Chains A and B, each alone.
Chain A
Amino acid sequence: MDGNINKTVIRLEHIGMIYKTGTINYEALKDINLTIYKGEFFSIMGASGSGKSTLMNILGCLDQPTSGKYFLEDEDVSTLSKDRLADIRNKKIGFVFQGFNLIQRLSIIENVELPLFYAGVPHKEANIEAKKALRLVDIAENKENNFPNQISGGEQQRVAIARAIVHNASIIMADEPTGNLDSVRSNELMSFFKKINDERNVTIILVTHEPDVAAFAKKHIIVKDGHIVDN
């Protein structure tokens, strides 16, 4: 881990994001400059409406900035096509969302296999990798074929982590991952993030408004009114 610590994974240069609604322009992000290194456990804090989720959408290649440049592992991704961005998400980024965002009509194992299917991994191999990922987050084998609504919220979020790491993503974006969990489950979940960060050297970017949760991260930024106000 230490050997990679200074390798830049993410670099934002003068990133701006303006949403247009009819004739009204809303500036969600203003001149954001940020560098994140490989293996960092990084938190983005801020109040509701501060722009932190917009920043995460850009960092996660779900959205593109209206100005500035975004380098992901030295590749400028700020102007790539939608399909190329999908490819980057599939290969390099794993997501954990507040609402778990598991597909309810797919079984747990099928949810975890999903990124591998879109990566073109044969089903048998995908199934083996998904099982490994589920073991890593302590999901029992007898629950693999359950549907998401048949397991607890804490377990669902661990399944989401398994889905985020199954394809060996180098970055995990976690948007308010503990928002739907009680404090015990929150701590348990954050321990998993820490474990993945320590053992796999995966860069973790955590978006949260809870200081207790942000405390698990090693670096922090605070976003307010579309600016980074504290680093």
Chain B
Amino acid sequence: MKFPILLDIQSAFKTFARNKARSFLTTLGIIIGVASVIATVSIGQGASASVQNAINALGSNLLIILPGSSNLGGVQTGFGELSTLTLQDAKAIRKLPAVKTDAANIRMNEQVIWRGNNWGTSVMGTSSTFPVIKKWPVTKGEFFDKQQDDTAANVAVIGTTVATQLFGLMNPVGHIVLIHNVPFKIIGELKAIGFNAFGQDQDDIVAIPITTMMEKIAGISWVNIIMVSAKSKKDTGLAQNQITALLRQRHHIPPHKPNDFYVRNLTQIAQTAGSSAQIFTILLAAVAAVSLLVGGIGIMNIMLVSVTERTKEIGIRMAVGAKKNDILKQFLIESSVLSLFGGVLGIGLGVGISDLISLISPLHTILTIEPIIISIIFSVAVGVFFGFYPAYKASNLNPVEALRYE
């Protein structure tokens, strides 16, 4: 290399140091642009992750089967109004090749009583496979097993909110509570998982075997919901098809009739939500990129001014032997360094804004290394792109005319 690049960079910094205010104002567009990109992408990524977490918290590779809606005198009810799903349906579904496990559910609001304390909560009849499907382990005691499920045992596993409300700091395992005037022995406490995306306290729950629920509490032979875990994420679509085919067959639905049930594929919902969040991120980043563009135009403008101001200097450099490429390189490095400098300041500001948003607002922001690297590359690219024309103009000056310039 004829003119070491470090000296060019050093020279660029000297140039900016002589015009501190002008250099700072020039980079302001890039600073704001990069800071906007960093902040908006971190908000977008945070939103995306929140949606994904909320959906993942519902269970792994989860499919939810609800009874269909009914039509009474022209009034169409919502999903879940029919009593078409049974425990036998759940057992049949369990045997499908794409299905790993299932849990049938019935939920009712009941008062749970222990000695002088009572608490109104959601009592859920479910299968022993519930902790696997929902990825929701117990922290004290244990969940009820298949045998307790099959024999309609009077056992219950409670959420932490119920445990706190009834037992305070005591260990609830081993105590007897009354639900619907039926005694239940508490055999476990679920791990605290907090509120869901809709603001519901998920720990305010009591889980009992579904058979116990059907026989001793609800007195019904049908279930509200069947949750199914597919063998893998890619099997969710296949499982959905197999379940639909099986239930249509079991419910004797003729080909031209609609289903009397509804299968929701949570993986699909997660993917849709994920891509929505991604589009949101891209949109925000595109808006921020416009600021970068404006910043780039600012750099081009100031570099053109700089070339005019330094015409004589360019002439002197040419007189002592600088070639076209030397001048081109010098001005390109100056514009790139200026832009990069703005980019680095912008990243600092963007990270600060992102942290501040996380701190003072309910929005959760996530900052990964990718937008930072992309911002650095982009700011250098802006410097090169918008600096090229002024640099080209400088390198094509006639040395005699440049030397004559006052």
Interface residues of A (CB under 8 A from B): 57, 60, 62-63, 82-83, 86-87, 89-91, 95, 97, 101-105, 114-115, 117-120, 123, 163
Cβ of B317 within 8 Å of any chain A Cβ, yes or no, is yes
Residues A117 and B403 in contact in the complex (CB < 8 Å), given A83-B324, A86-B322, A95-B319: no
Q: Which residue of A lies closest to B1 (CB)?
A: A120
B23 to chain A, nearest CB (A): 13
Cα-based distance from A63 to B315 in the complex (angstroms): 12
Given A87-B321, A89-B319, A90-B321: A118 in contact with B3 (beta carbons within 8 A): yes
Which residue of chain B is the closest to A57 with respect to CB atoms?
B400
Shortest Cβ gap from B305 to chain A (Å): 15
Q: Using a CB–CB distance below 8 Å, which chain B residues touch chain A?
A: 1-4, 7, 14-15, 18, 312-313, 315-326, 398-400, 403
Chain A residues with CB under 8 A of B3 = 117-118, 120
Contact between A123 and B313, CB atoms less than 8 A apart: no
Contact in complex: B319, A118 (CB < 8 Å):
no
Q: Pick from A63, A103, A118: contact of B321, CB below 8 A.
A: A118
Query: In the complex, what distance in Å separates the CA atom of A133 from the CA atom of B324?
Result: 27
| 25 interchain pairs, CB-CB under 8 A | A60-B319, A62-B318, A62-B319, A63-B399, A86-B318, A86-B322, A86-B324, A89-B319, A91-B321, A101-B319, A103-B313, A103-B316, A104-B313, A105-B14, A105-B15, A105-B18, A105-B313, A114-B320, A117-B2, A117-B4, A117-B7, A118-B317, A118-B320, A120-B3, A163-B320
A201 to B332, CA, bound (A): 40
Within the complex, what minimum Cβ distance (angstroms) separates A28 from chain B?
12
Once the chains are docked, how many angstroms separate the CA of A114 from the CA of B320?
7
Known: A97-B403, A123-B7. Contact between A89 and B323, CB under 8 A?
Answer: no
B403 to chain A, nearest CB (A): 7
Q: How far is the CB of A98 from chain B (nearest CB, A)?
A: 10
> Roughly how many angstroms separate A62 CA and B398 CA in the complex, as a whole number?
8
Contacts of A114 in B (CB 8 A): 316-317, 320
Asked if residues B7 and A115 are in contact (CB atoms below 8 Å), the reply is no
Contact B324 A82 (CB under 8 A): yes
List residues of chain A with CB within 8 A of the CB of B323. Answer: 82-83, 86-87, 118
With the chains together, A49 CA to B100 CA distance in Å? Answer: 98
Q: Check if A119 sits within 8 Å of B321, measured CB to CB.
A: yes
Which residues of chain A come closer than 8 Å to B313, judged between CB atoms? 103-105
Which residues of B sit under 8 angstroms from A118, Cβ to Cβ?
2-3, 317, 320-323, 326
The listed residue with most B CB atoms (<10 A of its CB), out of A60, A102, A105, A163, is: A105
> Which of B4, B7, B324, B403 is the one whose CB lies under 8 Å from A101?
B403
Chain B residues within an 8 Å CB radius of A102: 316
Q: Looking at A57, A89, A117, which has the most chain B CB atoms within 10 Å of its CB?
A: A117
Residue of B nearest to A60 (CB): B319
Say yes or no: A62 contacts B7, CB within 8 Å.
no
Looking at the assembled complex, report how far the CB atom of A130 sits from the nearest CB atom of chain B, in whole angstroms.
Answer: 12
CA distance A135 to B322 in the complex (A): 25
Output the nearest chain A residue to B14 by Cβ-Cβ distance: A105
Seed contacts A91-B321, A117-B3; 13 additional CB < 8 Å A-B pairs: A62-B403, A63-B399, A82-B323, A82-B324, A90-B321, A103-B316, A103-B317, A105-B15, A118-B2, A118-B321, A118-B323, A118-B326, A163-B320
CB neighbours (8 Å) of B4 from chain A are 117, 123
The interface residues of chain B lying within 8 Å CB-to-CB of A62 are 318-319, 399-400, 403
